[in-house]
Structure 1
Amino acid sequence: MKSTAKGIIFDLDGTIWDSMPYRIKAWEMAFRDYGIDSDPEVIRLMIGYPGSMLIKKMNARDPSIEMAEERYFSGMFSDVKFFPDVADTFKELRNLGFKIAIVTSSRRAMAERLDIQVDALVTMDDVANGKPDPEGYRKAMAVMGTSPGSTVVVGDIDNDLIPAKALGSVAVLVTHGIKKESKNMDYEIQNIGDLIGLLKKIKMA
């Protein structure tokens, strides 16, 4: 029997959670501890990828650098906020009958500290392969009871949208006022709240 459930999968960092400046700073501090000079712009472009990929990008190999970043970021945690329209948007999505999931490259211990209710939470600790592999999205859809055709994916970088397109889901890029490019987006919105109007235009399976 075909599922009629509708779902939205959100990325976390930089998509619904305004964490990018803090993540960049935490990575810079972590790399500095290991005697590595880092470029904040390279770090910014790699946020959302598994930490191991960023470490490799900086020509480093020690996986403990990621744990150092998590410790530094944990100390900044109370300063990080959700984008201001997220709570109202989530409430409206539920009123419209959508289930909500977060699929993130962050660790579960960190993500579970967030005061946000979702139907599915898939973290880096829950998958064998992080984004752009679609494994995390498949897991989230299984929990929500949705199909790729009845699921919309929202992210702030191409790495979030590549697996959406691979599965056949609608891919939405959120820019938060920053000029971005994506070869994999179906639609672009500036703010999370813009998603509500967009959903009225999208034909879902």
Structure 2
Amino acid sequence: MDSFTVNKAIIFDLDGTIWNSIPYRIHAWQLAFRDYGMDTDPEVIRLMIGYPGSMLIKKMNAKDPEIEKTEEKYFEKMLNDVKFYPDVEKTFHDLKKLGFKIAIVTSSRRNMVEKIKIEADAIVTMDDVSSGKPDPEAYLKAIKIVGSTPSRTIVVGDIDNDLIPAKKLGCIAILVNHGLQKKSENKDYEIKDIHEILDIIQSLNWK
């Protein structure tokens, strides 16, 4: 397929990338594990945010998959306090003016994502795929939905787990750090704030 006949696309991770949910996720997981008689290190949980919940449960040497549902119940009670980063709405608006299709690929469950308003052309959740990140399945599905190709797609995430599938597929990978120290072996670019994506796009000179 000719690159000039397909849509330009940009895929965003949700938690910690465009949505300031990480502290709330950590607290919800701590409460959930506590209900099952387990005290947990918040730093270990933080490093696992963005992976499927089943992987975090395994990391904590727990076995009951219901812990994930308990975490969702706690997190849902916090939703009113969770906000998108301040520059997200305007950046999405500017990206659409530039002709980009916007997709969200998240390890969150669909019933949770449907409770928040996201202005995106496609949303792929953990419930829509058989393998979660860093498997590229969700990214391929999002790219297909928006009518793009990997070579015309940018992926934005806050951890390396978001960027590994981007590099496997041949997408451009952007790490957003929101002022925190981050490490990634798979990033093509690193930015502090979401709006800086626009400068990178200008340098790419995509038509």
Q: Which band: TM-score by shorter chain?
A: over 0.9
Identity %: 64
CA distance in 2: counterparts of 1:58 and 1:204, whole angstroms: 44
Shift in CA distance, 45/203, structure 1 to aligned 2, threshold 3 Å? farther
Number of equivalences: 205
Secondary structure in structure 2 of the residue aligned to 1:201: helix
AA matched with 2:54: S
Give the equivalent residue in structure 2 for 1:123.
125
Give the equivalent residue in structure 1 for 2:96.
94
Q: Structure 1: 5+ residue runs without aligned partners? A: none
Q: 1:130, CA displacement in angstroms?
A: 0.2
Give the equivalent residue in structure 2 for 1:53.
55
CA distance in 2: counterparts of 1:204 and 1:59, whole angstroms: 47
Asked if structure 2 preserves the Cα contact closer than 8 Å seen for 1:153 and 1:161, the reply is yes
Flag as ranges the 4+ runs of structure 1 deviating above 3 A: none
Query: Quick check: 1:185 aligned with 2:183?
Result: no
Give the equivalent residue in structure 2 for 1:198.
200
Give the equivalent residue in structure 2 for 1:63.
65
Q: 1:204, CA displacement in angstroms?
A: 5.5
Give the equivalent residue in structure 2 for 1:26.
28
State the Cα deviation string for residues 95-129 of structure 1 (Å, max 9, x = none): 00000000000000111111122110000000000
TM-score by length of 2: 0.97
Q: 1:54, CA displacement in angstroms?
A: 0.3
CA distance in 2: counterparts of 1:187 and 1:137, whole angstroms: 19
Secondary structure in structure 2 of the residue aligned to 1:193: helix
Q: What is the aligned-residue RMSD (CA, Å)?
A: 1.1
Shift in CA distance, 124/89, structure 1 to aligned 2, threshold 3 Å? same
TM-score by length of 1: 0.98
State the Cα deviation string for residues 132-159 of structure 1 (Å, max 9, x = none): 0000000000000000000000000000
Asked if structure 2 preserves the Cα contact closer than 8 Å seen for 1:10 and 1:102, the reply is yes
Query: Quick check: 1:84 aligned with 2:86?
Result: yes
Asked if structure 2 preserves the Cα contact closer than 8 Å seen for 1:55 and 1:61, the reply is yes
